[in-house]
Structure 1
Amino acid sequence: MSSINTPKGSLTRSTAILLGLASSTVAIAGMRAFRDTLAAAFLALVLVVTCHPLQTCLRRRGAPGWVGVAVTMTTIYTIMAGLVVALVTAAARLVTLLPDYATQFEKLLNQAARRLEDLGVTPEQASTTVGRLDLSKLSGLLQNILSGLTSAGSNLMFLVALVFFLAIDGDQFARRLDMAAESRPLLVDALRAFARNTRRYLAVSSLFGLVVAALDVLALHWLAIPLPLLWGLLSFITNYIPNIGFLVGLLPPALLGLLEGGVARMLWVVAVYSSINMVVQSFIQPKVVGNVVSLSATLTFFSVVFWTLVLGPLGALLAVPMTLLTKALLIDSDPAAQWLRPLLGDTTAEAAEEDATPSAQSKTQSP
C-alpha cells in the first residue's frame, strides 16, 4: 500500500524518520567529539550577540566603527574575566575553608556512627560506613575542579581570539543580513529572532539572578554562613542554568552550614534556598522566560539535560541559546515546519494564527 500512495522516487515517512534519526545521531556524536571547541565558540557567539547593540548605538551616535568594536570587546572581556575570577575564587575559598572544620567534621561522623548504632547497625558496620566519609576526599575533589578551571588556558585563549574576530565582523553583519534577506528572507528573520530572543533571555535571567542572589546573601548572613557575598555571586552565575542551577549554588553554603552549625543549620540553608527557588525560579522565572523566548518550560528543562550531555558543563549555561539557534535554523526558517512552533511554546505563532483566522473567515463570508 505504501508503494501505491507514495510518489515515485520519494521516501516513505518511516524511512525519512529513520534517516533523520541516523543523521541526528551522527551530528550529535560529532559535536561531542569537538565539545570543548564548539562550546567555547558558541559562548563567544552568545557574548557578541548580547553586546552587539552597543556597536549599533555607538554607530548611530556617529562614533567610528573601531570605537564600537573596542567597547564591545572590552565589555565582553570584562564579563569573561569576572566569571572566571568568581568561579575560581569560590572553589579556592571553599578548599581553604574546609581544613578549618576538621574537628567539627569528626564530631559529625561520631554522631552519625552513634545514630546508626541506635538504629540497629553493628558498631563495626557503622564505623566502616562512616569511615568512607572523608573531608580530605572532598577537598581533593574541589582541588581537581579548581585545577581544571585554571588549566583551561588554551580554550580561554581561543575564546578571547574568537570574540575579537566576531566583534570585528559584527560591525558589518547587519548589512550582510540585509543583503541575504533578498534571497532568504525567512532564514534571516529567524536569525534575527534568535539574536533578539537570546538578548531577552539573558536580560531576564540576569534580573532574576540579581533578585535571587540578593535574597540568598541576606539569608546566609542571617544564618551566619561564612562568605555570604561569594555564595550569592555563585548563585547569580548558576541562575543562568534553568531549573537545576540553584542546586549547584546550594552545595557550598549547605556544606558550610553543616560544618558550622550541624544538621539543623544545613537544613535551614536548604530550606531557605529551596523556598527562594520555589517562588522565584520555579514559579515566576520560567513563565517569564517562556513568554520572552517562546519556549515551553518542558523544552527548556530538556534542553539543559541534552546540551549538558552533548557539550559538558558549559552546555548547561548555553542550553537555552543553543535551543533557540537550533529552532531558528531547523523550524523558524522552514515554511513546512511552521506547524511545530506552537508545540514548542512559541506564543507568537499562536497569536499569528489567531489573528489570521478571523481575517480568513471574513474573506470567505464577504460577497
Structure 2
Amino acid sequence: METPRSPALVILVGSAAAVVIMAGLKAASSIVGPVFLALVLVIAVNPLRAWLDRRGAPFWVCVSVPLATVIALLLALGAALAVSVAQLAALLPAYTDQFNELLASATRALARYGVDHHKLGQAVSRLDPGQLFTFVEGFLAGLLSASSALLLIVLMLFGMCIDATGTVRQLERLATSHPALVGALRGFARDTGRYLIVSTVFGAVVAVLDTVVLYLFAVPLPLLWGLLAFLTNYIPNIGFVVGLVPPAVLGLLTGGLGTMIWIIVAYSVINFVLQSLVQPKFFGTAVGLSFTLVSISLILWSWVLGPLGAILAVPLTTLARALLIDLDPRKRWLDGLLTSALDKPPKRQKHTPKEATEP
C-alpha cells in the first residue's frame, strides 16, 4: 500500500527545486532573457503570420514578413535606447549647480524650523544629483545590453518563425490526446498576446500624452521621458513611479516646485484615467493575475534577469502558471487564488423556467 506523502514535504521539495531553477536561470540570464524575449516577440507577431497564412501567402512570406517586422522594431528600439542613454549622461552635469542651490535653499528653510544645521549639512553633502537618475540610467543601459544580443535574438526569431506554422498544426493534432497540455500552451499564448496588445496600446497613448505635458512645461528631453513612460508601462505596479520621478525632478530643477507638482498631477490623472478606469473596463487585468502575485513576480524576475526581467515579468509568470497549474487539472482550484478581483466576472447563464407539469 502506497504511503501518502506529507504536504509539508512536497512544499519543501518543490521550494528547493524552485530555488535551484531560479539560480540556474540567473546564471544563464544573458541567454535566457533574449531567448524568452524572442518567444514573446514571435507570439506578438503571430496574428500577422496567421493572417498571411489564411490569405494563402507562400511559406517564405509567412516567415519573412513577421521576422522583418520584429527586427525593424528591435533596431528602432535599440537606436532609441542608445540615444537616450547618451543624452541622459550628457544632461546630468548641466544641472549640478541648480541641484546644489536647491539643496542649500532647503537646508536654510529647515534650519529656520529648528533642524540641526550641522547634521543637516552632513546629510546634504552625501547627496549627488547623479544618484537621482542612477536607476533610470541603469534600467536603460540594461535594456540596451539586452538588445545588443541582437544576433542571438535574430537567430531564435528566425527559427521560431519557421517553426510557428508547424507548431500550431502539431498542437491541433495533440488537442485530442493531450488536451491539458494544449490548453495550457494556448492559454499562455492567448494571455501573453492580450497583455502585449493592452500594454502597447495604452503605453503608447500614455507616452504621447506625457510627452505633450513635458513639452508644455519645457522639461528637458521630453522624448526621452516619453520613451521611458512607454517602456515602464510594461513594468507592473511600479512602472508609473519609475517613469514619473526623473521628469518630476527635472521639472523641480528647471521650473520650481509648482512645475513639479503640476507634472505629478498630470501624470497621475493620465495614469488613473487610462490604467484604472478605461483599461479594466475593456480588458480587465489582461492576464488575470492578482496584484500580489504580479508584485512578487516583478521582484523575482527582476532579480533573475535584470531590467529585461522586469519588463517580461508578466509573460514569465503566465508561462509558469501554465506549466505548473493549468497543465494539471488537479490544481485548477488555485486559479481562484491567483486571479485578480478586477477581472470581469463570468456572465451568469439565464435559466429558463421549467415548464409546468400536469398534476
Q: TM-score range by the shorter chain?
A: 0.7 to 0.9
Give distance in 2, aligned partners of 1:153 and 1:283. 33
Equivalence for 1:188: 182
Q: How far apart are 1:258 and its partner, in Å?
A: 2.0
Q: Which residue of 2 aligns with 1:230?
A: 224
Q: Deviations over 1:248-280 (max 9, x none)?
A: 211321222122112332232223222322333
Matches within 5 A, 1:77-156: 77-135=71-129, 155-156=149-150
- The structural deviation recorded for 1:203 is 0.9
CA contact (8 A) 2:66 2:161 kept: yes
Q: Is the 8 A contact 1:190 1:328 kept in 2?
A: yes
Instruction: Return the alpha-carbon distance in structure 1 between the equivalents of residues 64 and 134 of structure 2.
Output: 41
For residue 67 of structure 1, what is the aligned residue in structure 2? 61
CA–CA separation in structure 2 for the residues paired with 1:275 and 1:291? 19
Aligned twin of 2:324: 330
Q: Which residue is 1:41 aligned to?
A: 35
In the alignment, is the contact (CA less than 8 A) between 1:190 and 1:332 conserved in 2? Answer: yes
1:8 aligned partner:
2
Counterpart amino acid of residue 84 in structure 2: A
Structure 1 position 114, deviation (Å): 1.6
Q: Tell me if structure 1 keeps the 8 A contact 2:288–2:340.
A: yes
Question: What is the aligned-residue identity percentage?
Answer: 47
Equivalent positions of 1:355-366 (< 5 A) are none
Is the aligned partner of 1:269 residue 2:228? no
The 1:187–1:197 alpha-carbon spacing in structure 2 relative to 1, beyond 3 Å, is same
Equivalent position to 1:219, from 199, 213, 222: 213
Farther-moved stretch of structure 1 (190-199 vs 307-316): 307-316
Equivalent of residue 15 in structure 2, options 16, 21, 29: 21
SS in 1 for 2:60: helix
Aligned equivalents of 1:87 and 1:153: distance in 2?
Answer: 9
* Letter in structure 2 aligned against 1:87: L
Please report how far the alpha carbon of residue 351 of structure 1 lies from its aligned counterpart in structure 2 after TM superposition. 4.2
Task: Tell me the equivalent position of 1:166.
Answer: 160
Give the letter for the 2:173 counterpart: M
Deviation at 1:200, TM superposition (A): 0.9
8 Å CA contact 2:291–2:340 kept in 1: the answer is no
Segments of 5+ residues of structure 1 without an aligned counterpart are 1-6, 363-367
Return 137-146 or 280-289, whichever deviates more.
Answer: 137-146
Contact 1:243–1:282 (CA under 8 A) maintained in structure 2: no
- Provide the aligned length of Structure 1 versus Structure 2: 352
After superposition, give the CA deviation of every residue in 1:211-234 in whole Å (9 maximum; x if it has no partner): 212221222122221232332222
1:187–1:137 Cα change, 3 Å: closer
Q: Any idea what the Cα deviations from partners look like across 1:72-109, whole Å, max 9, x if unmatched?
A: 11111122122222333222222222233333223213
Choose between structure 1 and 2: higher helix proportion: 1
Once residues 207 and 245 of structure 1 are traced to their aligned partners in structure 2, the CA distance between those partners, rounded to angstroms, is 15
Alpha-carbon contact 1:242-1:301 (below 8 Å) kept? yes
For each residue in 1:176-213, what CA deviation from the matched residue of structure 2 results, as whole angstroms up to 9, or x when unmatched? 21233242122112111211111111111122112212
Q: Match for 1:40: what amino acid?
A: P
User: Counterparts of 1:139 and 1:344 in 2: how far apart (Å)?
Assistant: 35
Q: Which residue of the other structure, out of 280, 290, 306, is the alignment partner of 1:312?
A: 306
Q: Which deviates more from structure 2 when the two are superposed, residues 194-203 or residues 212-221?
A: 212-221
Deviations 1:98-143 (A, max 9, x none): 2333332232132123223223345443433222223466688877
Out of 342, 348, 361, which is 2:336 matched to?
342
TM-score normalised to structure 2 length = 0.86
Asked if structure 1 preserves the Cα contact closer than 8 Å seen for 2:71 and 2:154, the reply is yes
* Unpaired stretches in structure 2, ≥5 consecutive residues: 355-359
**How many angstroms does 1:70 deviate by?**
0.8
Which residue in 1 is equivalent to 2:357? Answer: none
1:216–1:137: structure 2 CA closer, same or farther, 3 Å change rule? closer
Q: Using the alignment, how far apart are the partners of 2:138 and 2:306 within structure 1?
A: 16
Output the aligned Cα RMSD: 3.0
Structure 2 contact 235–311 (Cα < 8 Å) conserved: yes
Letter in 2 for 1:107: E
State the partner residue of 2:250.
Answer: 256
Q: Distance in 1 between matches of 2:207 and 2:228?
A: 8
